[in-house]
Amino acid sequence: MISLRQLQNRNILLGVTGGIAAYKSAELVRQLCQAGATVRVVMTEAAQQFIAPLTFQALSGNPVSTTLLDPQAEAGMGHIELARWADLVLVAPATADFIARHAAGRADDLLSAICRATAAPQLIAPAMNQQMWRNPATQENVARLQQQGVMLSGPESGSQACGEVGPGRMVEPAQLVEQVAAQFQSGLLQGVRVLITAGPTREPIDPVRFLSNRSSGKMGFAIAQAAVEAGAEVTLVAGPVALETPDHLRRIDVESGQEMAEVVVQEVAETALFIATAAVADYRPLEVAAEKIKKGSDERVLRLIRNRDILAEVAARPSPPYTVGFAAETEKLREYAQQKLVDKKVDMIAANRVGEAGTGFDADDNALILFWADGERSLQRKSKRQLARELMAEIAQQISKR
C-alpha cells in the first residue's frame, strides 16, 4: 500500500508535452498538490496548443515555465535552478517526439534542458497513437532512456482519442501520483516509534518574564518531517516556536524544560528512537515570583538551578531507545561532541558549529558532523530539510547494525 504522505513538501517538476492527454495533467497537478507536493509545471510549445499555461498556474499556485532563453525567467527560476529544485521530474504526457529528443540528449528547449541538468529521478508517462508507440524508433528511444535510469509508467492499452485501440494511453493521474509517492517511500523506519524534542524552552522568572534562547526549532521540525517520510510514527515535543506542524505526526507543545522533561518521560516508554534537538535551558530560576517583579535597587541577583537533562535521563533508562543528541559549539567541535557522547551515554551526537553565517540557529541551512562510538560522518552544508533526510538515513543504518 503506497502512502501519499510521502509527497508532503516534495518538489515535483511536471513536464507537459504536446499530446491530447495534456488535459489529464491538470487533474494530475491537482492531485499532487492535494497530497502536499509543491508542483512547478514546464510546458513545451506544442503542449500550449492543447492546454493553457494559466490552467496549470492556477492549479499549482506557481508560475508556469515555457521557454529556455527568456531573460526574465532565467533571472528567476532558470533551467538550472528548476533542475536543482526538483526532487523528481515527471513528464506526463510524454510524446514520441519528446521521448526521441530526450533519448538523443537534446537540450534545446526548456524541458529537455532540465532533463539534462537534473540529478533528480525522472519518470515519464508516454501517451501517443498505438502505431507511434509500436514504431521501432520509439521503442529504441524508450529502451535507451530506461538504460539511463529514466523510469517509465505505461502506456496503457485501450481505445484512443484517434479512434484506434491499442497501447498508448497515458496512465491515469491517480496511479501516477501513487507511483511518484512510491519514489519517496524509503521505508527506512517503517512503523518505528520516534520521539523528538525541538525548539527552545522558556524558564519563567515571574508571570511576564522568562529566560530563553535563540533556537527556532527548524532543525527539529525538519527531522520530524524526515522521520515521517521514512515511515516512522512520530511524536514531536515542541517548545515555543513559530512553525507549522508537519502532517502525519503528533505534536505536544510545552513551555519550560521541566514540562518538556515530564512529557518525554510519559512518552518515551514505547519509543525505539529518541532525538533530542531541543535547546533546553540548562538552568531555570530557582524561584518563580507569583506576581510581576517590580523594579527596585540597581542590582539584582537571579538565582538559577540546574534543569533536568532530558537526553541523559532517557539514555540512562534500563532499556533505552537509540538516542541521538545535538551539540552546538562555537569551538573545539569534535572534542566537545565526543565528550557529550561519553558523558551522556548516547548513541549518536550530531554536532554543528554555531556562529557561522547562514547556518545553525534560525538559519535555513545547516551542516553536521555525526559521531557514534566507533565512527563519524560529515554531512555538508545544505538545506535543513535535505540534511534531515540524510541524518535519518544514517540513524536508520546505525540502528540496523545493532
Catalytic residue positions? Answer: 162
Interface with ligand CTP, residue 309, by CB under 6 A: yes
Q: Using CB under 6 A, pick the residue from 16, 47, 278, 351 that binds ligand CTP.
A: 278
Interface with ligand CTP, residue 307, by CB under 6 A: yes
Q: Which of 56, 145, 123 is nearest to 66 (CA)?
A: 56
- CA 236-242-245 angle, to 5 degrees, is 40
Q: Which residue spans within 101-177 are E strands per DSSP?
A: 122-126, 151-152, 156-159, 165-169
Q: Using CB under 6 A, pick the residue from 282, 287, 362, 364 that binds ligand CTP.
A: 282
Residues 36, 9: contact at Cβ < 8 Å? yes
CB of 372 to ligand CTP, least distance (A): 14
Q: Give the C-alpha separation, 152 to 233, whole Å.
A: 32
Comparison of 30 and 377: residue with beta carbon closer to ligand CTP = 377
Q: Using CB under 6 A, pick the residue from 5, 340, 384, 385 that binds ligand CTP.
A: 340
CB of 201 to ligand CTP, least distance (A): 8
Interface with ligand CTP, residue 310, by CB under 6 A: yes
Q: Using CB under 6 A, pick the residue from 28, 64, 196, 276 that binds ligand CTP.
A: 276
For residue 329, list its beta bridge partners: 353
Q: Which of 23, 29, 19 is nearest to 174 (CA)?
A: 29
Instruction: Give the type of residue at 314.
Output: V
Total interface residues for ligand CTP by CB under 6 A? 17
CB of 335 to ligand CTP, least distance (A): 12
Question: From the CB of residue 354, how many other CB atoms can be counted at a distance below 10 Å?
Answer: 15
Q: Which residue has the cell 493521474?
A: 173
Interface with ligand CTP, residue 388, by CB under 6 A: no
**Would you call 343 helix, strand, or coil by DSSP?**
helix
- CA 118-122-128 angle, to 5 degrees, is 125
Burial of residue 50 (CB within 10 Å: 0-12, 13-18, 19+) is: middle
Site string for ligand CTP, 146-185 (x = CB under 6 A): ----------------------------------------
CB of 256 to ligand CTP, least distance (A): 11
User: Considering only 56-64, 65-73, 104-112, 324-332, which stretch makes contact with ligand CTP by CB under 6 A?
Assistant: 324-332
Comparison of 308 and 353: residue with beta carbon closer to ligand CTP = 308
Q: Give the C-alpha separation, 350 to 352, whole Å.
A: 7
Q: Using CB under 6 A, pick the residue from 326, 347, 348, 389 that binds ligand CTP.
A: 326
Interface with ligand CTP, residue 203, by CB under 6 A: no
CB of 340 to ligand CTP, least distance (A): 6
Alpha-carbon dihedral 63, 64, 66, 68, rounded to 10 degrees:
50
User: Considering only 27-35, 96-104, 203-211, 322-330, which stretch makes contact with ligand CTP by CB under 6 A?
Assistant: 322-330
Comparison of 146 and 339: residue with beta carbon closer to ligand CTP = 339
Binding residues for ligand CTP restricted to 236-275, rule: CB under 6 A: 257
Helix axes 136-147, 96-103, angle to 10 degrees: 50
Residues that bind ligand CTP (CB under 6 A): 197, 257, 276-278, 280, 282, 307-311, 325-328, 340
